[in-house]
């Protein structure tokens, strides 16, 4: 009797008609064969073997460089279950329309079967997925991003308990590009794109869209969050999970070199993008990182902003859409190396200064997590790490202060639900437009976000020791349009305050939006930021927040009666706190 997996693979092969089928065992030898295939495909080069051993540069199709949210669909029977913030297609229509595109799609190509585990191999929280793909780049990337091969097949055995994901490059025509999630049957179909989040199906499609649905069904959480441990001078490590939209610095925060290292504060990396969390026996929420690698944004990463990342990616890494130097080394803006003579841009064309950036703004590195210099010794603990703080954050030139603490869980959920951020190059579409992005999950929640907020509220009641909830904003700008806060290594100063608040210390002043550090609440020694800049960074401007409240109200309205009333309540309480404050000042 064939196993359920074998049956599915057979069925897929009947539709897509590949020339041959390769089962990926996760071995180094097979990885090298896949690399050879990539080199033959012509869009991949080997980098300098002396300075970047076992590293590749991949150039994707120029029309295929970011997630495409406009063609990403949640396919539930009821439209309302996908909710107003997701694109929706009925499963029947999706199967019919996109099924046709898969027909014969792998003719003449190799079909790779990639079994993988999301999460540590022996963790009860982990889950098995299987991606079938005709892209060698996807196979090589998946081997870095997840635990691929034999271990997954061993864990699965003859069971049908895996999430199947079917992927084909198709003809790479954006008109025939679809990223489909079928959460009711736990199935993923993706065609027409070879780009990261569209094509590495273990990442956003499974670990967030499908997993968020599973998490609600089963009483746990799948979140777009990095996980880090902050060590204090006593040697104790406190774990925090932080949600920021794509390309807002999650990888940099998770891998941060601390400006307060000499005072005994350092950061340990557990994960940089996704957290799966369950309530542990100790009453804390425990988080695992379902991934095994980092898919980080290259531009802006340099020895001063993040030398940890720079050290991590010197071997066994895949670079996508960065520039190339004549010495066969990767190059991007912000690497702190002058563009050398003969630099090629991300399309492989000769770069000249007037030509715009040499690296695509969403160019990426894919690096094994265990190469991070400060990887936590607990990053693969089967039971995960206990989370003491949640941090929400976005890119806001105005409005949100550098950091504030919510008044409690329900208010914290509201803070997450009203999150907003300026869009980035991580997804196609306009860049720099402020949009609401609750919990940084707008593009990744696999169901109606009103139900997602309800799930958050319910989880709060069930967690005996819930994380405290904070909001940060590294991106506030002054009147001159320049960033007020230096960011990067200095962000540890904010983490230290968060840690102190978790410990019941940390000086704070009450404002309508939450607890904000007092002027002497943050450790600022050794930092050149003027008092007036700090005041501006921590300022809560009633005028800005009035607009914010109006915009949030509109955002909430689209959920109609499905929105939990607790959020309306929090909304009017915030408005009232501002009104009271204004009345006092008058």
Can you give the binding site for ligand SAT, defined by CB under 6 A? 67, 196-197, 203-204, 246, 295, 426
Q: Which residues pair with 297 in a beta bridge?
A: 364
514: partner contacted, choices ligand SAT, Mn ion, none (Cβ within 5-8 A by kind) = none
Strand 225-231 to 237-243 pairing: antiparallel
How near is the Cβ of 295 to ligand SAT at its closest, in Å?
5
What residue is closest to ligand SAT based on CB?
Answer: 197
* Contact call for residues 32 and 38 (beta carbons, < 8 A): no
Q: Which residue has the tokens 């520039």?
A: 323
Nearest CB to ligand SAT, comparing residues 295 and 555: 295
At residue 477, φ and ψ (nearest 5 deg) are -115, 150
Distance CA 190, CA 199 (A): 7
How near is the Cβ of 273 to ligand SAT at its closest, in Å?
6
How near is the Cβ of 42 to Mn ion at its closest, in Å?
29
Nearest CB to ligand SAT, comparing residues 204 and 396: 204
Residue 10 makes CB contacts below 8 A (sequence gap 6+) with: 2
Site of interaction with Mn ion (CB under 5 A): 246, 273
- Give the number of other CB atoms < 10 A from CB of residue 260: 21
Residue 186 makes CB contacts below 8 A (sequence gap 6+) with: 163, 164, 210, 213, 214
Exposure b/e, 429-466, CB count within 10 A at least 16 = b: eeeeebebbbbbbbbbbbbbbbbbbbbbbebbeebeeb
Nearest CB to Mn ion, comparing residues 273 and 437: 273
Nearest CB to ligand SAT, comparing residues 86 and 246: 246
141: partner contacted, choices Mn ion, ligand SAT, none (Cβ within 5-8 A by kind) = none
What residues are labeled active site? 248
Entry field: residues in the chain: 586
203: partner contacted, choices ligand SAT, Mn ion, none (Cβ within 5-8 A by kind) = ligand SAT
CA angle 217, 562, 439 (to 5 degrees): 65
Give the helix ranges, DSSP H, for 269-408. Answer: 303-312
Nearest CB to Mn ion, comparing residues 131 and 273: 273
How near is the Cβ of 282 to Mn ion at its closest, in Å?
29
* Contact call for residues 17 and 168 (beta carbons, < 8 A): no
How near is the Cβ of 248 to ligand SAT at its closest, in Å?
9
- Give me 353's structure tokens: 């200064």
Nearest CB to ligand SAT, comparing residues 190 and 552: 190
295: partner contacted, choices Mn ion, ligand SAT, none (Cβ within 5-8 A by kind) = ligand SAT
Nearest CB to ligand SAT, comparing residues 295 and 447: 295
DSSP 157: T
3-state class (DSSP) for residue 366: strand
Distance CA 191, CA 93 (A): 16
401: partner contacted, choices ligand SAT, Mn ion, none (Cβ within 5-8 A by kind) = none
197: partner contacted, choices ligand SAT, Mn ion, none (Cβ within 5-8 A by kind) = ligand SAT
3-state class (DSSP) for residue 227: strand
Distance CA 375, CA 344 (A): 33
How near is the Cβ of 224 to Mn ion at its closest, in Å?
6
How near is the Cβ of 296 to ligand SAT at its closest, in Å?
9
* Contact call for residues 115 and 130 (beta carbons, < 8 A): yes
196: partner contacted, choices ligand SAT, Mn ion, none (Cβ within 5-8 A by kind) = ligand SAT
């Amino acid at each position: 009797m064939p196993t359920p997996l074998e049956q599915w693979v057979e069925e897929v092969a009947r539709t897509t008609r590949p020339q041959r089928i390769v089962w990926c065992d996760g071995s180094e030898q097979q990885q090298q064969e896949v690399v050879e295939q990539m080199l033959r495909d012509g869009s991949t080069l080997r980098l300098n073997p002396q300075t970047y051993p076992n590293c590749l540069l991949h150039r994707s199709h120029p029309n295929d460089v970011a997630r495409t949210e406009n063609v990403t669909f949640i396919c539930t029977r009821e439209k309302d279950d996908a909710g107003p913030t997701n694109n929706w297609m009925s499963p029947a229509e999706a199967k019919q329309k996109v099924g046709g595109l898969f027909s014969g799609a792998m003719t003449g190509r190799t079909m790779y079967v990639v079994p993988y585990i999301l999460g540590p191999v022996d963790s009860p929280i982990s889950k098995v997925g299987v991606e079938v793909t005709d892209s060698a780049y996807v196979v090589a990337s998946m081997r870095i991003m997840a635990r691929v091969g034999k271990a997954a097949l061993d864990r699965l055995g003859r069971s049908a308990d895996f999430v199947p994901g079917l992927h084909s490059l198709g003809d790479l025509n954006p008109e025939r590009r679809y990223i489909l999630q079928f959460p009711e049957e736990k199935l993923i179909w993706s065609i027409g794109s070879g780009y990261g989040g569209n094509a590495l199906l273990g990442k956003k499609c499974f670990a967030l869209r499908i997993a968020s649905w599973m998490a609600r069904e089963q009483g746990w959480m799948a979140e777009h969050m990095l996980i880090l441990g902050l060590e204090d001078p006593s040697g104790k490590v406190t774990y925090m999970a932080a949600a920021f939209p794509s390309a807002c610095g999650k990888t940099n925060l998770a891998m941060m070199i601390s400006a307060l290292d000499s005072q005994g504060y350092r950061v340990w990396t557990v994960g940089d993008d996704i957290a799966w969390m369950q309530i542990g026996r100790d009453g804390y929420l425990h988080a695992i990182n379902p991934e095994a690698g980092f898919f980080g944004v290259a531009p802006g990463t340099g020895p001063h902003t993040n030398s940890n990342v720079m050290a991590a990616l010197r071997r066994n890494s895949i670079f996508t859409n960065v520039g190339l130097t004549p010495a066969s080394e990767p190059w991007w803006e912000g690497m702190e190396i002058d563009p050398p003579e003969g630099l090629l841009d991300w399309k492989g064309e000769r770069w000249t200064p007037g030509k715009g950036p040499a690296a695509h703004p969403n160019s990426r590195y894919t690096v094994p997590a265990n190469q991070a210099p400060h990887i936590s010794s607990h990053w693969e603990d089967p039971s995960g790490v206990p989370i003491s703080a949640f941090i929400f954050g976005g890119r806001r030139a105005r409005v949100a202060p550098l950091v504030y603490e919510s008044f409690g869980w329900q208010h914290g959920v509201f803070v997450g639900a009203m999150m907003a951020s300026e869009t980035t190059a991580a997804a196609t579409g306009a860049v720099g437009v402020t949009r609401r992005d609750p919990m940084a999950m707008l593009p990744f929640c696999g169901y109606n976000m009103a139900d997602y907020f309800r799930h958050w509220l319910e989880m709060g009641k069930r967690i005996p020791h819930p994380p405290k909830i904070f909001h940060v904003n590294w991106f506030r700008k002054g009147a001159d349009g320049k960033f007020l806060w230096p960011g990067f290594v200095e962000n540890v100063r904010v983490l230290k305050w968060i840690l102190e608040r978790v410990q019941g210390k940390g000086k704070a002043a009450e404002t309508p939006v939450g607890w904000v550090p007092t002027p002497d609440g943050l450790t600022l020694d050794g930092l050149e930021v003027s008092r007036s800049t700090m005041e501006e960074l921590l300022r809560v401007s009633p005028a800005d927040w009035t607009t914010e409240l109006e915009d949030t109200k509109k955002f909430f309205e689209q959920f109609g009666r499905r929105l939990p009333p607790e959020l309306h309540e929090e909304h009017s309480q915030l408005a009232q706190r501002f009104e009271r404050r204004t009345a006092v000042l008058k």
